[in-house]
Structure 1
């Protein structure tokens, strides 16, 4: 029987202390950083994906959950890669179990790479044709990562041509104090614009002068240079 210990052993074999120090700085696992208290062992993301590819079929959901609650960052991220595989390949019942596992363990999805590797591929797709009120609950959380999960989950709706949930959550989080939410909201608005520029600009028109500058820059990143300048100088 394959266990979480097997995955841990494989990741430990691939660990690089030098890379761990770099990862710790990049994901702010330092005193005062948003990732403070976490621990990296220095396994590259491609290596983690390869490990997930080898183990996702045989690792039970219980063992995957144990990996997801690890104190090692790469072990949690690998667990999420496994859950994404299980969700994508599973039937409706399996997908529901994976979604439930993610929602029950959002406290372990506590950095932007963990959120961005799971919310758009599990939470959003599960909710495409279901009640989405859970996203409002997450958006009202004191945890920045819950709020980012809510925003990033809407990527699945955007891909389906449904922008209203993104706009509603963007409005709610328009003046969130955290820079990582400014980036996430701006990114999702940009994705709307990639599919329907007029819809994005209609949302931006009454808001762009007061939204955080980082959010605006992310939202208009793909605009033509002259149009970007118009937004940045407030002359739209």
Structure 2
């Protein structure tokens, strides 16, 4: 693989991964936005896309952005996966890491599904903010777009893994009653993960919110609790719903 691979080279390799029955569709839409369906699935296996992205981990940001413009969902999965591989590499310069972070936030319009966020939002945005101010997460948490709100919470995976829980809880306070399913699930997931580090803090949060938070959020958050705690917290939610 050359030091400066291109989006065209990535696409050429990607097309070999597409099932024969979808090959013509993928070829005609790979890097061309036609203004019609802008989230086409070509049916390539995710594992193979991730492996290809690892091979193209040196793809320059400008070429990654070309991939993000693709109407093929599979290619955009590849683009965000490339960013996730490239950012934490020891040989990646701080200048390049900043470029990747800026690109990610500038093009959230193309990283606009829950799975695209989850491929590398934590590895790029979360990693970048480990030792930096995190104000941008609170801006994202108030976005009109659910995928930006999901990103705000999902980026904190990197903080929680280090036992740094404060931003996760502050963001959860903002997002705990969010109307979007894919925000509910990530809030519940991150709350669950905080419980591995500080169970009393999780219990205290749920004591305040269990009766009113979306049930899917609560179910995710209590997954690792004992049966008695789960029953108590779900009972509060049921009572509140009945009373309402």
- If the TM-score is normalised by the length of the shorter chain, which range does it land in? 0.7 to 0.9
Corresponding residue SS for 2:236: coil
CA contact (8 A) 2:38 2:72 kept: no
**Structure 2 counterparts to residues 101-140 of structure 1, below 5 A:** 101-140=103-142
Q: Judge which range, 141-150 or 6-15, deviates more.
A: 6-15
1:84 aligned partner: 84
* Aligned alpha-carbon RMSD (Å): 1.8
1:223, distance to aligned residue in structure 2 (A): 1.1
Q: TM-score, normalised by structure 2?
A: 0.85
Equivalent residue runs for 1:7-156 within 5 Å: 7-16=10-19, 37-57=38-58, 59-89=59-89, 90-156=92-158
Q: Counterparts in 2 of 1:194-209, with a 5 A limit?
A: 194-209=196-211
Give the length in aligned residue pairs. Answer: 219
Q: Whole-Å Cα distance in 1 between the matches of residues 200 and 127 of structure 2?
A: 25
Q: Which residue of 2 aligns with 1:29?
A: none
Question: Following the alignment from structure 1 to structure 2, what is the Cα–Cα distance between the partners of residues 9 and 108?
Answer: 21
For the pair 1:157 / 2:168, whether they are aligned, the reply is: no
Structure with the greater alpha carbon radius of gyration: 2
Alpha-carbon distance in structure 2 between the residues aligned to 1:98 and 1:54: 17
Quote how far apart the aligned CAs of 1:91 are. Answer: 2.5
Which residues of structure 1 form unaligned runs of 5+?
21-35
Instruction: Tell me by how many angstroms 1:105 deviates.
Output: 0.6
Given candidates 174, 179, 182, the residue that maps to 1:180 is 182
Tell me if structure 2 keeps the 8 A contact 1:158–1:192.
yes
Question: 1:32-78 CA deviation, whole Å, 9 max, x = no partner?
Answer: xxxx8411101111101111121112x22211111122111111111
Structure 2 stretches of 5 or more lacking a match? Answer: 24-36, 238-244
